[in-house]
Amino acid sequence: MSAAFFPLLIQIQLILFFLFFFVTVFLHLKTRQAHKFYKFWLISLFGTVFFLGYLSYYHSDHRHQKNHYTHFIHTEGSLYVHTEIVEVLKPTKFYYRYVGKVYQVNQKHTSGKILVKVPKTASELNLNMRLHLLLSANRLMKIPKALQPYAFDYAVFMAHKNIFHQINLDHLACRIDRYEGKSFLTLAQNLREHIKTYFKENIRQKSIYNMSVALLLGEKQNLSPSIYNDFKQSGTVHILAISGLHIGILLLFLNFVFKPLKNKYPWLFLFLILLFLWFYAFLTGFSPSVLRAVMMFSFLQIGLMRRRQSNIYNSLFVAAFFMLIVQPQYIFRVGFQMSFIAVLSIISFYPIFSRCCKVQNKFLQWFIDLFWVSLAAQLGVLPFTIFYFHQFPVYFFLANLFTIPLLFLILFLGFILIVLSFGSLNITVLFKIFTVLLHSLLQINFYIAHLPHAVIAPIRMSVLQLVLSILGLVILFYFFKTQQKYQAWVFLGLWIISFQLLCIFKKYKISQSPKFYIFQNYKTSISGLDLGSQIIIYGDSLRTNSFLWQNLSQHFSDIHLHKALFYQTFKEYKILYVNNTGIFRYQNFHPDIVVIQHSPKINPYRLLLHLHPKILIADGSNYPSVSRGFEQAAKQLKISFYNTAKKGTFVLK
């Protein structure tokens, strides 16, 4: 993570890595003779691993490869691009989206990946399709950054996947070939398609089929937004991503199937379990969530077979270490963070919670244990849930109490059906049971998500509050585990005081530093005054289903709508709005900021010479040609110009 925020030249990284490496080796030899060098050896070892992470992060950025396509593209002329579809992404309202692997640019062999967008008016693409594209250089566009405050930055998200450009296939010269490759990923895709066809033939209801594919194969692209929102509101959205819970159930299933081999042929037993675990990872396309879970449970199973007391903490962190060495950018993925934190929280707090309630009835104890597991996992991911999603699902414990046992049965039966699919065996009874279980899962989450006050939102949390919340969990764990209760109470009390002071300071700071926005919103003019917990919106009507409204409603508890103003003040700034009425002449009035709206038919030079503003802003309601005209005039008159359509929302602090 340090390498992302504090980059160093590759030469400096290499020098520091080898320096710490040789010092570590030298001190290791000295430590054998004198134990006093041990602390220095630990420091040098930390430095070695730290700069190994720097090097790994540097090489994980594919743009540093000599044959990456970005070294062969130019800003003018035409490009001939040869790419192959290697991944299907979730479609948007207007586009199908795919990841394409770039093989050639202008007859030169290249590497790298791009985002391929296809209008929904055209036919869908499939994996392994090879596209031969002839396009002008400006059609290979950078993925646009977020243009609104509080919006999800898709460009940063895709950059962490080494995808930096996009192509829209609308009106492009394109030839499509079907490439029948024999790579491992192609074979995995063919197996997935076989399984999906098998399930589709036996499950008629579309929502149930999409749910089965999501839970068993990790393909969530076709899940409806309403179903996804129900799981999000109920606090069970984590089960939609194949992770530790799914792999743990698979491991139980495999241990049950191969149990007869455990005593007679222990190493064959271990080999078969690891083989099927990694085959399942291969089947799901080696997604990050599956990889980390399979790696962790592989270490766990090996430890158990060697008849040693397995340390699940070591298994967890070793899995994380190897994954981050191979692909350091996984650390920026929300799924990666929450998956590891959830498992870490379970193995830390579940043994503590489970001691609180013991009953004789094994079936009842099973439900109680499920509740403690759910509580422990939710406790760990709670700070991340609030930080990333700005909400807290109130009935998460109730939802997980019903959902986890159902998921156990669904996955157990689903794995059996996957095995049967390879023999093309249709057992109608199993599919009927499977369908009933999935339908029950959807209904339970629907009812819980629509209970009164199911979600507390919006909740705004800063990075410092997130760090302090994680520290609070560490102190809470120490409180339960330590024998020195007085010291634990002191730490807990200091943490509570610190967190309260931070919240008070944050609230005071926000109240003392309001922000003024000229929003980027397509074809509309919207401005806003951010007062911390509330925001005042001025301008055109803001639709409640718009993207801007959704972003604002996740961060502000109160949104007040007002009509557009022609004149406004913010602290010492005077702001004038000039719209299509063309009125801008006011006696003895010289605004600091002029906002151009709705493409006014005014000579830009005449307006600027009359008003002499410090800043000229063109918002998203203007035609591009009008914005360019004002930009050219502002440049010649040496006036600062800001176009929200290109740079995003203008923020005045």
Q: Let me know whether 232 and 293 are in one domain.
A: yes
The dihedral over CA atoms of 596, 597, 603, 609, expressed in degrees to the nearest 10, equals: -20
The answer to the question of residue 144 being in a domain is: yes
For 435, the token pair is 């369908």
For 307, the token pair is 């008849």
Q: Let me know whether 353 and 443 are in one domain.
A: yes
Q: Let me know whether 202 and 342 are in one domain.
A: yes
Confidence (pLDDT) at 636: 92
The dihedral over CA atoms of 216, 218, 223, 225, expressed in degrees to the nearest 10, equals: 130
Confidence (pLDDT) at 185: 67
Contact 539/566 with Cβ under 8 angstroms?
A: no
Q: Let me know whether 630 and 523 are in one domain.
A: yes
Confidence (pLDDT) at 309: 46
Strands 650-652 and 526-530: what pairing? unpaired
| Closest alpha carbon to 528 in 543, 518, 514 | 518
Strand order in the sheet with 515-518: 558-562, 534-539, 526-530, 515-518, 650-652
Q: What HEC string does 8-34 produce?
A: CCHHHHHHHHHHHHHHHHHHHHHHHHC
Q: Let me know whether 604 and 628 are in one domain.
A: yes
The residue type at 610: H
Confidence (pLDDT) at 306: 62
Reduced to 3 states, what is the DSSP secondary structure of residue 258? Answer: coil
Confidence (pLDDT) at 359: 74
Q: Let me know whether 34 and 78 are in one domain.
A: no
Q: Let me know whether 644 and 568 are in one domain.
A: yes
Q: Let me know whether 500 and 557 are in one domain.
A: no
Distance CA 643, CA 33 (A): 67
The reported pTM is 0.79
- 617, with CB counted inside 10 A (0-12, 13-18, 19+), is buried
Of the candidates 60, 77, 101, which is a domain's last residue?
60
Q: Let me know whether 227 and 138 are in one domain.
A: no
- DSSP-derived secondary structure letter, 90: P
Of the candidates 60, 88, 110, which is a domain's last residue?
60
Q: Could you report the average pLDDT of every consecutive run of 10 residues in the chain (653 residues)?
A: 75 87 82 70 84 84 88 81 85 87 89 90 80 83 85 86 88 66 69 87 88 86 84 81 76 82 84 89 78 77 62 74 81 79 83 79 74 78 83 81 83 87 81 91 91 82 88 89 83 89 82 85 87 82 73 80 85 88 78 91 89 91 91 92 91 85
Distance CA 438, CA 418 (A): 16
